[in-house]
Amino acid sequence: MRTSSLTIMIFANRRFPAARPRRMRKDDFSRRLMREHTLTPNDLIYPVFVLAGEKRSEPVSSMPGVNRQSIDVLLRTAEEMLELGIPMISLFPYIESGKTPLAEAAYDPEGLIPSAVRALKSRFPELGVMTDLALDTYTSHGQDGIIDESGYVLNDLTTEILVKQGLCHAEAGVDMVGPSDMMDGRIGAIREAFENAGLIHTRIFAYSAKYASAFYGPFREAVGSAANLGKADKYTYQMDPANIDEAVQEVAMDLEEGADIVMIKPGMPYLDVIRRVKDTFRVPTYAYQVSGEYAMLQAAFQNGWLKREACIMESLLAFKRAGADGILTYFAMDAARLMKEGRGYY
C-alpha cells in the first residue's frame, strides 16, 4: 500500500490526542482533586424580610419559598441558620404604616429593625447581623432618599438621614450596616459618624456597584415599596447597566471612604463586574443574587424546566469562580441544607 508522506505525518500526529483532559474528568475522585473553586456555608449571607407583630409568616408571591417574618419567627430562622453554619443574616423591613416624605421612621430606636437586631443579638450573639441602610421602605414615595419638588433624590440631605439610620442600628447592636442607596459620599459620612460615636467595630458592607436593574422587581413587592414608587425609576442614582469602568470608580471611592466589604449587584448578569473589581482591588468582594434572579430560577423549577438542586449550586458556585468571596442569596438556607446533607451538586 502506498501512502503519501503527508498522510503519514497526519497519522503519526493524530494517532492519539496530545492531551486528554477527559482522563481527569473520568472519576469523581479526580474531578474533586482538580476542583478550582468551592462553595461552603461560610460564603453565604441570608436576606430576610421582617414585619411587625407576632407569629406572622407571610409568603411573598413573586418569591416562592420566601416569607416575611415577625421577630419571633425570625428567631427560629436564626437558630436554623446557626445549625447550618451560615455566618450572617441581612434584615430588610416591611413597613406597614408611618411612611412619610422625610422617612423619620428610619431612625426610630423603637422601630422594627432596631428591635429585631436587639432580639437577635441577645438570643444569638454569635450570629452576624447586618441591616439595610436605605430609605425606600420608609418614604411615602418609595425612593431611597429624600426628594425635591421635581422628584429628584437629594444627595446630601439623604446622606444625613442615612447617618442617623446607621447610628440607630449600630446603637441597637448591629454588626454590619449595608448602605444600599448609592448616594455619593455616604460611606465616608457613616464611617465618620461611627468613629465619632466610638462605634469602631461596626462594619460597613457597601453596596458599591449597584445597578439600576429591572431584576429588583420581586424585592420591591417583598418590602412593599413597589406601589409607593409607582412608575418612577432610580436612574438618577443607581448605575447604568452599560457601564463597568464606573463600577471600578464607585468601589475605589467606597474603599477610600472606609468600606470593609464591597458588593456588586445584581449577580448573575454582572459576573464580569465582579471579576474586574476583584482583580483590581483584591479586597473582600460580595455579590447579590437578587430577587429577580431568585424568582426566575424558582419559576423554572416549579415548571420542571430546570433541576432545582443542581441549578442552585451551579449558580452560586459561578459567583465564586468570578472572584466573589461570598453571596447574598435567598437560596442560602437551601444551599446550606444541601451541603450539610452531602447532596450538593459539587
Specify the DSSP class assigned to residue 106. Answer: G
Question: Which of 220, 276, 278, 320 touches ligand PBG by CB under 6 A?
Answer: 220
* Smaller CB separation from ligand PBG, 219 or 286: 219
Pair 291, 10: CB distance under 8 Å:
no
| Residue 250 touches ligand PBG, criterion: CB under 6 A | no
Distance CA(173)–CA(51), nearest Å, equals 19
User: Rg for the chain (alpha carbons), in Å?
Assistant: 23
Helix, strand, or coil (residue 261) = strand
Q: Which of 99, 121, 210, 278 is catalytic?
A: 210
* Smaller CB separation from ligand PBG, 273 or 344: 273
* Residue ranges in 127-146 that form contacts with ligand PBG under rule CB under 6 A: 132, 134, 136, 144
Angle at 302 between CA 297 and CA 307, to 5 degrees: 60
* Smaller CB separation from ligand PBG, 132 or 344: 132
Shortest Å distance, C-beta 288 to ligand PBG: 6
Nearest partner of 88 among 113, 121, 115, judged by Cα: 121
* Smaller CB separation from ligand PBG, 247 or 344: 247
Distance CA(144)–CA(138), nearest Å, equals 9
Is residue 265 flagged as an active site residue? yes
Q: Which of 99, 234, 265, 278 is catalytic?
A: 265
* Smaller CB separation from ligand PBG, 82 or 214: 214
Shortest Å distance, C-beta 293 to ligand PBG: 8
The alpha helices in the chain, defined as continuous H runs, are 5-14, 22-25, 28-33, 71-84, 112-123, 155-171, 186-196, 217-222, 226-229, 245-256, 271-281, 291-302, 308-321, 332-340
Q: Give CA torsion, residues 22, 24, 28, 32, to 10 deg.
A: -130
Question: Which of 194, 216, 270, 331 touches ligand PBG by CB under 6 A?
Answer: 216
Shortest Å distance, C-beta 221 to ligand PBG: 10
Q: What H or E segment, with its residue span, contains residue 92?
A: strand 88-93
* Residue ranges in 172-201 that form contacts with ligand PBG under rule CB under 6 A: 180-181
Shortest Å distance, C-beta 290 to ligand PBG: 4
Helix, strand, or coil (residue 148) = coil
Shortest Å distance, C-beta 178 to ligand PBG: 8
Straight-line distance from the first to the last Cα atom of the chain, in angstroms, rounded to the nearest whole number? 52
* Smaller CB separation from ligand PBG, 132 or 257: 132
| Residue 159 touches ligand PBG, criterion: CB under 6 A | no
Shortest Å distance, C-beta 125 to ligand PBG: 26
| Three cell numbers, residue 252 | 475605589
For ligand PBG, how many residues bind (rule: CB under 6 A)?
Answer: 12
250 is in an annotated binding site: yes
Is residue 278 flagged as an active site residue? no
Partners of 34 in the β-ladder: none
Question: Which of 285, 291, 298, 329 touches ligand PBG by CB under 6 A?
Answer: 291
| Residue 219 touches ligand PBG, criterion: CB under 6 A | yes
Instruction: Kindly list the distances between the CA atom of residue 65 and the CA atoms of 33, 99, 200, 213, in Å, as whole numbers in the listed order.
Output: 35, 27, 37, 22
Question: Which of 176, 290, 313, 318 touches ligand PBG by CB under 6 A?
Answer: 290
Annotated binding site: 250
Contacts with ligand PBG by CB under 6 A lie at 132, 134, 136, 144, 180-181, 216, 219-220, 234, 290-291
Catalytic residue numbers?
A: 210, 265
> Known binding site for Mg(2+): residues?
250
